[in-house]
Amino acid sequence: MNETMTVTRLLTRKNALAESRLDVQLQPAAPADGEVCLRIDRFGLTTNNITYAAFGDSMRYWDFFPSADAECGHMPVWGFADVVASTVDGVAVGERFYGYFPIASHLRMQPVRVTPRGFYDGSAHRQALTSAYNQYTRCSADPVYTKDHEGHQALLRPLFITSFMLADFLGDNGFFGAKRLVVSSASSKTAFGTAFCLQTAPGIEVVGLTSPRNREFVDGLGCYRRTVTYEDLGALDTATPTAYVDFSGDDALRTAVHRHFGDALVYDCFAGSAQKAQAPHHPDLAGPKPAFFFAPVQIKKRNADWGPAVFNERFGDAQRRFVAELSAPCNRWMRVVEHHGFDAAQTLIADLHAGRTAPTDGHVVQL
């Protein structure tokens, strides 16, 4: 008699991202030949995950973990999972991996390119998708992994890879001639991670744009040269060549930025938003057209420029410094808030989508 196991999934409504529902299925307990089954244990939930859902169709994020429901998708998250069954040499039961998972109790994958560092999921439906999301890292071989900092890694690694690559992309392009970067939603973790990476960049002033409610927090971070509220945007001079780095997705704010800086605005970079479901489109907007930043493109370039070993070394060093800053006792940047179970994940997704979370809080869900 074939044994079965219960698999629980949390599905999100594609046209109403604050709404989600539980889906429970019975599946065979034993994996097929060439398969492994992992039990998902812990993952981070941030506005970045809401962005994945907002761009689920246009950027194919829904395709990584198909739901078989046209109205609902499987929101991807970054976290940790343990192998509970395996028919693949080199992937053993009990091993722990970091990577890209659905919000679910279990996931079946088909490991390929298995190395001491980890593997790639070779499932047919993922082959046309961005390969950076198909890589799973063996925790025992990860030089930046520590058990005590799993919460920080689940939260910060996926955000910080975007921050690191965005800072690198801007520098790689000479900041497009800008001497100042104006960063919206400056209190968001990806935004201040980018500012952290640019602290030593010569000849560039990084200005944080934020709400009056978050100004004190942004000021206290210490990684922005100065902080300006949205209402005080007009206080910034229009003589300095300026690049706009947008994490808000606010169309009215983008229009105000373009109108205020005029010819001084040399570049407009859209880095993602929890509230906006598509890249900005302003055919009548004067100045540079908004350009969407997609980290995997710069990752691919730097792997070619530097080689994977050097890339991993540089990113790992930057990530260690960032985690050390954010995990220090009484740090001014972030505290890790633990949640438990699928119900808590549902509530948290709704709160993140509505902007009801504090900028100081980093949310981790333990299933």
| pLDDT value of position 272 | 67
Domain limits at 183? 156-296
Same-domain status, 107 and 161: no
Same-domain status, 93 and 174: no
What would the two tokens of residue 257 be?
Answer: 């930025």
Same-domain status, 187 and 114: no
Sorting pLDDT into bands at 50, 70 and 90, what band is 1? Answer: very low
In a domain, 33, yes or no: yes
Same-domain status, 137 and 23: yes
CATH at 190:
3.40.50.720
Q: What is the mean pLDDT of the chain?
A: 91
Same-domain status, 205 and 114: no
CA gap 359, 55 in Å, rounded? 23
Same-domain status, 25 and 105: yes
Spell out the residues 6+ positions from residue 56 whose beta carbon is closer than 8 angstroms to its own.
14, 62, 73, 75
SS3 263: helix
What's the domain count of the chain?
Answer: 2
Q: Which of 94-103, 120-129, 290-299, 319-328 has the lowest mean pLDDT?
A: 319-328
Spell out the residues 6+ positions from residue 232 whose beta carbon is closer than 8 angstroms to its own.
none
CA gap 100, 109 in Å, rounded? 12
349-to-53, 77, 208, 249, 363 alpha-carbon distances in Å: 11, 12, 26, 18, 10
In a domain, 315, yes or no: no
* pLDDT > 80? residue 136: yes
Same-domain status, 200 and 258: yes
Same-domain status, 135 and 185: no
**What DSSP designation does 185 have?**
S
pLDDT in tens, 228-263: 999 999 999 999 999 999 998 888 999 999 999 999
Give strand pairing partners of 112.
120
pLDDT in tens, 337-356: 999 999 999 999 999 999 89
Sorting pLDDT into bands at 50, 70 and 90, what band is 334? Answer: confident
In a domain, 301, yes or no: no
CA gap 312, 150 in Å, rounded? 19
CATH at 82:
3.90.180.10
Same-domain status, 193 and 71: no
Domain end among 279, 296, 313: 296
Same-domain status, 188 and 111: no
Give strand pairing partners of 115.
118
* pLDDT > 90? residue 76: yes
User: Averaged over 267-278, what is the pLDDT?
Assistant: 68
* pLDDT > 60? residue 280: no
In a domain, 316, yes or no: no
pLDDT in tens, 298-312: 999 999 999 988 998
* pLDDT > 60? residue 360: yes
pLDDT in tens, 169-218: 999 999 999 999 999 999 988 899 999 999 989 999 999 999 999 999 99
In a domain, 202, yes or no: yes
Same-domain status, 78 and 111: yes
**What DSSP designation does 104 have?**
B
CA gap 22, 11 in Å, rounded? 6
| pLDDT value of position 277 | 46
- Could you tell me what percent of the chain has a pLDDT over 90? 70
| pLDDT value of position 194 | 96
Same-domain status, 137 and 166: no
Sorting pLDDT into bands at 50, 70 and 90, what band is 273? Answer: low
